[in-house]
Chain A
Amino acid sequence: MMMQVSQLARFNAASAAQWHPGVVRDETAHGEVFTSMHEASGAAFALALAQDRMRSLAPDPLADTLDKRAWLWVQDRDTRRRTGRPYRPGLPRALRHRLIHVATENAQDALFAIEEGLRCRDLAFVIAEIAGNPKALSFTASRRLSLAAERHGVPLWLIRLDAARDLSSARMRWRADAAPSPPPRRNPAAPGIASWKAGLLRARNHPPGEWIMRDEAGRLCAEKIVATVATPDHGDLADAVSGRSLAAY
């Protein structure tokens, strides 16, 4: 009897593997990142996820041309006013010259811009910031975005600033907060590489989890947070992988 239970656990582990960087499945095509209005962690984390996805998707050694597709950053007015606009010198070097910024007045226009971006085959990905829980961003609207993203293969990361977790059809929902950065070797008193405490709230194929992540030396690193395992029904699974860097998978 015990054998059967452990086999079942193993089966569960195989079918619902923990998320780790570099996992690229269809369900990442539409992600939501909840974050606070008072920090840039959400946008930075979404950018890191987008870059991670691009790196994982482009291992074609014969492709000698770089991916030069543009990407879209949609902001509504509240977001621009409260958290500012993207700053080119601060963007990742590979992305800064390809940015197209769309400034909309309200969430409805932002949703329109996102959908137009998702339907464009020449875009690498779309990042959008919408403040709060506007009425326009209903479950139907998010379902539209999911379908458009899946249909045209343009991934979307929607950053929800100071938003309640309402109904949404996003394939992955994250919570991103700033985390203390590792001290740089050169000047330990200075802020280090940007780090985030990222929690996977919901995903179709992965159990929830929480990681400290940072975009380090051209790849996304994730460290599992052992203490706060938010998966009571996958307890033995989380135990099996605890204490190891998931990036090693």
Chain B
Amino acid sequence: MAIWLMRLAVDRWRLTERLEEGEGADAAPLALIADTAHGPRIAAANAAAIAAGVQAGTMLADARTVCPTLATVAADPAGDLAFLEKLALWARRWGPWSALDPPDGLIVDITGVAHLFGGEDALLADVRTMMTRRKLAVRAALAPSAGAAWALAHYGHDGAIMASEDEAAAQLFSLPVAALRLDDATLLVLRRLGLKRIGDLQGVARDALMRRFRTIQAPAANPLIRIDQLLGRVPEPILPVLPRNVPLVQRRLMEPIRHRDLLDRVLADLCGDMGRTLEGMGLGARRLELGLWKVDGDVAVCSLELAAPSRDGPHIAGLFGRKLDNVDAGFGIELARLRAIWTEPLALAQGDFEKAAETHGTSLSACIDRLSVRLGASAVRRPVPYASHIPERAQVWEVLGAVGTSMPALQCQPSSGQKRPLKLLDTPERIAVLYASPDGLPRRFRWRGNVHEIARAEGPERIAPEWWREHSSVRLRDYYRIEDGQGRRYWIYRDGIAGDGRGNDKLGGSPEWFLQGLCA
């Protein structure tokens, strides 16, 4: 979509003067003039002046002869361009990106957007409404290529829509050659050749045109390139306008500052803030501007330029510190604002990883990573409960994948009355026992060559084998918590009972005893 702001300069002047159209100074003929080497020349004229015969581009002296009452105001092309830039950003309401078409146009990419506004007609109507609300005279057109849209906006009928490239012949060939965005010299050449409309160019053999313009590379002077752009045969890159937020930090001060040391403190804070802001954006400042608003309405501005992009707060503060020596605080400074006018990308630097870990410690995940890389993932595990009555199956070791995503404990744990040992041997160790009766508790046992007298005992706690999982030959266990004469506490069990017909009972042996756990 191309939007042409037909009377941008005049409209903007009127807006700055807060005048309605045809009101006040606008009712009389008025021209915006630009100074040239040959004297003032009229850049734009308002409706009254145009009605009186004043044309843009004429010298002021010539225009005065036509319209003696012509008032003049200096034109502001830079201001117009800045206004157009803002307008281009605002125009992104109609499409994902927009581009400037200086001096007075905008290009908005509306591919796939029109249905959001209820169709292309409605989109153009919306453009017209919104622009009229901003008191800007506008013509807009839709076309598949930027060149065609521009041509229709400037030379077609208002609100022209070219739905597809098949309509090019019908809609574009009747337009004057000026619609090709050619410069004046080329237009003059074409007029002298008698080619007035775009369709006339199509009538000429393409070879002849190519021969005539073969040395000219600039698109604005070569009608062939322009025609190809118009019809979408060659791509036309467009630089979109993107908003850029100037990093800005400021401090409003509760009480006006008059002393230098306080100002230095504020400056250090500002530079620290600016450093963090820039770090977040991945930028470094090349030029900074510090504005100090004083109570008496005065503003002191000092700027700083850096050799290389930087966001080092103390460094910047130190450089500003020297510039602040001759700033007059007057009755006090109430607002300090720091802007980074010119920034350049500055990648984040990797801090010293080891050093950070040295001072602040590592995180748990980093610690586990380092452990499992050196020792193997299976070395770093945690016990998780498992639904089983058999003691060695009641916990399984889970490799630490994600910390903190532990499964909830299964409610198959021994009740608090059943005390469990602190440590469990990987395989229960056989103990030689001396007992009074094969069914009862032994009096003493020998484990690893040491004899332990059983002084106190609690049990038995009978744990049956899990018949749904194990063979039928597996024997039940009678567990005892025992304490020997020296106070050492163990968890021992008798594997099976005499006469159960399993294990060595069939051979007439007595059940064996095992030590499985070491109690606290």
Contacts and interface: CB of A to CB of B under 8 A. Distances in A.
B187 to A, nearest CB: 75
Given A83-B518, A109-B374, A190-B458, A89 B394 contact: yes
Contacts of A8: none
B424 A85 contact: yes
Nearest to A96: B383
Contacts, number: 173
A85 B517 CA distance: 9
A149 to B, nearest CB: 11
Contact of A89 (B367, B414, B425): B414
A88 interface: yes
Given A90-B419, A112-B374, A121-B363, A100 B382 contact: yes
A70 B366 CA distance: 14
Given A97-B409, A119-B357, A181-B487, A87 B458 contact: no
Nearest to B369: A116
B506 interface: no
A104 B489 contact: no
Contact of B519 (A90, A105, A112, A120): A90
A61 B363 CA distance: 26
B385 A121 contact: no
Contact of A97 (B362, B406, B419): B406
B371 A87 contact: no
Contacts of B368: 100
Contacts of B446: none
Interface stretch (B272-280, B317-325, B448-456): B448-456
A82 B485 CA distance: 21
Contacts of A97: 406, 409
Interface in A95-111: 96-97, 99-105, 109
B517 A90 contact: yes
A85 B424 CA distance: 5
B518 to A, nearest CB: 4
Nearest to A197: B487
Nearest to A117: B367
Interface residues of A, number: 54
B383 A39 contact: no
Interface stretch (B163-171, B230-238, B257-265, B395-403): B395-403
Given A40-B519, A180-B487, A194-B489, A87 B403 contact: no
Interface string B393-430: 01101001001001001000110000111111110000
Nearest to A212: B487
Interface string A42-61: 01100100000000000000
Interface string A155-188: 0000000000000000000000111110100010
Given A83-B423, A180-B455, A116 B383 contact: no
A123 B367 contact: yes
A86 interface: yes
Contacts of A191: 456-458, 481-483, 489, 519
Contacts of A187: 458
B364 A122 contact: yes
B136 to A, nearest CB: 60
B518 A84 contact: yes
Interface string B336-379: 00000000000000000000011011111011101100110001
Interface string B251-292: 000000000000000000000000000000000000000000
B412 to A, nearest CB: 10
Nearest to A179: B487
Nearest to A36: B488
B486 interface: yes
Contacts of B409: 97
Nearest 4 CB-CB pairings of A with B: A121-B361, A44-B520, A190-B458, A122-B364
Given A83-B423, A99-B383, 5 more contacts: A87-B422, A90-B423, A121-B361, A123-B367, A180-B483
13 contacts: A43-B520, A84-B518, A87-B383, A87-B420, A87-B517, A88-B383, A89-B385, A90-B422, A90-B519, A100-B380, A109-B374, A120-B362, A181-B483
